[in-house]
Structure 1
Amino acid sequence: MNLTVRQLRYVCEVARLGSVLAASKSLYISQSSILAAITLAEAEMGARIFDRRPARGVSITPAGQRFVAAARVMLAAETEFNRSIGDLSGRVPKVLRIGCFEPFGALFMPEMLRGYLDSVGDVEIDLVEADQVQLQERLVAGQIDLAILYDIGPIGIDSVTRICKVPAHAVLNADDPLAVRDGIWLAELAERPLVLLDLPHTATYLLTLFDVLAKRPEVRFRTRSYETVRSAVASGFGMAILNMRPIGRATADGDEIVRKPIFDELPPPTLIVADMYGSAKPLFVRVFIEIFHRFFDTVGPSGFSVTTPEREPLLLVARKG
């Protein structure tokens, strides 16, 4: 095969984004370089990988789907090889490529990553903030080494480490009559308009919490931003359901909103670290996971969740081995 690993990555990025222009911006390279890689890949395949649609990007063909699936396996193997070589010499990569669920970037990632740097030395952090679907795609494509996300929606990665359970809680405007209560029942929240964190799988998870009532609240405000959810609740658009609370140095809520536990027994999602290494995790992955565990052990359930006191001891997940 005459294609380089870099050119395979170009083709996979076009498949992920559905656009040569978008892939060019994502990879910081020229469109001509990407088009050359596609042309070479199609020559190697003897079939078209993409159908060009003027002004609408590209669509992947059935042959292209097979090619991209095989290319992603090769890219993941190349990443594992490079990391394993570093592990053999007891080194950690000079760049940690890590992805996290979008809200986590502001809620706790910088503070937690500071602990990683304190342990391994001065490395560069390349943090990708994305939704649950995008994180798994980037991990499989070898674009990131680790992904921090919840176990909600389909999880197509077999190698995951469970850190802690993070139950849902209510976020209310401080002037709401329910704000003075110790906790809230889901049926009470269903009567109020909802400010929805509208991310793939996340929105579905939040709305289906109400299915036990056979009644969902009216969605009055949708946003992909955790910060905008807080602002919308503070501005009186309605209540919100969230899981993680701001940790440590993250921006505090302010006086306009309050967080209250939900009394109903709802299945809590689990915070996980996903990787593509399986049981053969290189040194830097093992170090990261241990530091991640320690971070949440130190913060404790009352620091990362809003729940009732009797549920707090059940939230931290014990380490394996």
Structure 2
Amino acid sequence: MYIDQVPNFSLRQLSYLITAARLGTISAAAAELHVSSSAISDSITALEHQMGSQLCIRKKAQGLVLTAAGKQVAAQARNLINEANELERDLKTTDDELAGPITIGCYPTLAPMILPVLLAEFGEQHPRVSLEIVETTQDKLAGKLESGEIDVAFVYETLIPGTPNHAQLFAQPAHVILAADDPFASRDTVRLEDLVDRDMILLDSPPSSQHTLSMFHGRGLRPTIRHRTTSYEVVRTLVGRGLGYGVLVQRLNNTSSYEGYSLVVKEIEPAVEPVGVEVIWPSQTAMAMRVQALIEFALARQWKTA
């Protein structure tokens, strides 16, 4: 819901009213809250002025009594204060326990490697931290970090949007995937020059597509693209059916396609430059302790990359 106006009163003013009504006198409320009687009296007067209603009747002999409007305000104020206290408890970090939400952005092909570890292992260590996931391509991350929509993201080092803080988790080179019965399947390595006239299944999702094509263009080659897809698994499935080869960076232990066709992985010769996988976070925003803990957890972990 869009909030178009901030209330003129504060939770402190409401708490003064509630306490004075519960104890029956302003002086008793002042003693319990460790403030002056004049501070409570002035606060209640200001609250009445801001709401445009008399909330209590103050009599020296009989103390303080709420009016009908005051009773309505006090009832709703208790709910507001309880919710505010609950919000503070949910977000408050203590020496023993982290708490609160973290929104994690992740490039889709990295998600099967990165997210299960964070959700299971980091989540188990910090049960009061709520992890929310946003899977998106790197071009769509632009602005989401600096705006606060995403607290931290896991991406390839190429084409990182903006100027966020970043640190590398690991790096690995691209590889070629082939169907098990492909004529090149028995080779130890594969040259891009030998693939250029064959059909390619291109992972057409930034920055993967740019990186793949740049490897060919860097050697003066133009690959023959038969199909384009934004899905990592579709690339593997089409390759498994023998419809072309694929070039990928992310490596999974599963050597079969979604349909069960066998795949083989071949290194590229000459060797291509490894691509780094990085954790990035906003450069202009104060970092919560829970986010810092997640980044430190990710950097300290030994990631299985093959």
Shorter-chain TM range is: 0.5 to 0.7
User: Counterparts of 1:175 and 1:117 in 2: how far apart (Å)?
Assistant: 42
For the structure 1 residues 251 and 97, does the alpha-carbon distance in structure 2 shift closer, same or farther, using more than 3 Å as the test? farther
2:19 is aligned to: none
1:119 is aligned, of 104, 119, 125, to: 125
User: Counterparts of 2:5 and 2:244 in 1: how far apart (Å)?
Assistant: 52
Are 2:108 and 2:137, in contact at CA under 8 Å, matched by a contact in 1?
yes
Alignment TM-score, normalising by the size of structure 1: 0.61
Q: CA deviation at 1:117?
A: 0.9
1:224 is aligned, of 200, 220, 230, to: 230
User: Counterparts of 1:89 and 1:4 in 2: how far apart (Å)?
Assistant: 36
SS at match of 1:188: helix
Q: How much identity, in percent, do the aligned residues show?
A: 29
1:198 is aligned to: 204
1:136 is aligned to: 142
Structure holding more helix per residue = 1
Structure index of larger Rg: 2
User: Counterparts of 2:5 and 2:187 in 1: how far apart (Å)?
Assistant: 61
2:239 is aligned, of 233, 248, 269, to: 233
Deviations 1:104-136 (A, max 9, x none): 223442234311112212543211110001123
Q: Does 1:209 align with 2:215?
A: yes
Are 1:99 and 1:130, in contact at CA under 8 Å, matched by a contact in 2?
yes
1:102 is aligned to: 108
SS at match of 1:179: coil
User: Counterparts of 2:172 and 2:183 in 1: how far apart (Å)?
Assistant: 26
2:173 is aligned to: 167
For the structure 1 residues 145 and 86, does the alpha-carbon distance in structure 2 shift closer, same or farther, using more than 3 Å as the test? farther
Letter in 1 for 2:272: L
Report how many residues are paired: 219
SS at match of 1:113: helix
How do residues 58-97 of structure 1 correspond to structure 2 at under 5 angstroms? 86=92, 92-97=98-103
Deviations 1:246-268 (A, max 9, x none): 26xx7964552111111223222
Alignment TM-score, normalising by the size of structure 2: 0.63
Are 1:157 and 1:275, in contact at CA under 8 Å, matched by a contact in 2?
no
1:265 is aligned to: 271
User: Counterparts of 1:206 and 1:93 in 2: how far apart (Å)?
Assistant: 41
With 273-282 and 204-213 compared, the bigger mean Cα shift is at 273-282
User: Counterparts of 1:150 and 1:265 in 2: how far apart (Å)?
Assistant: 19
Q: CA deviation at 1:182?
A: 2.0
1:67 is aligned to: none
For the structure 1 residues 136 and 87, does the alpha-carbon distance in structure 2 shift closer, same or farther, using more than 3 Å as the test? farther
Deviations 1:185-208 (A, max 9, x none): 221222321111111332111111
After superposition, the CA RMSD in angstroms is 2.8
User: Counterparts of 2:252 and 2:295 in 1: how far apart (Å)?
Assistant: 21
Are 2:172 and 2:276, in contact at CA under 8 Å, matched by a contact in 1?
yes
Unaligned runs of 5+ in 2: 7-87
1:177 is aligned, of 180, 183, 187, to: 183
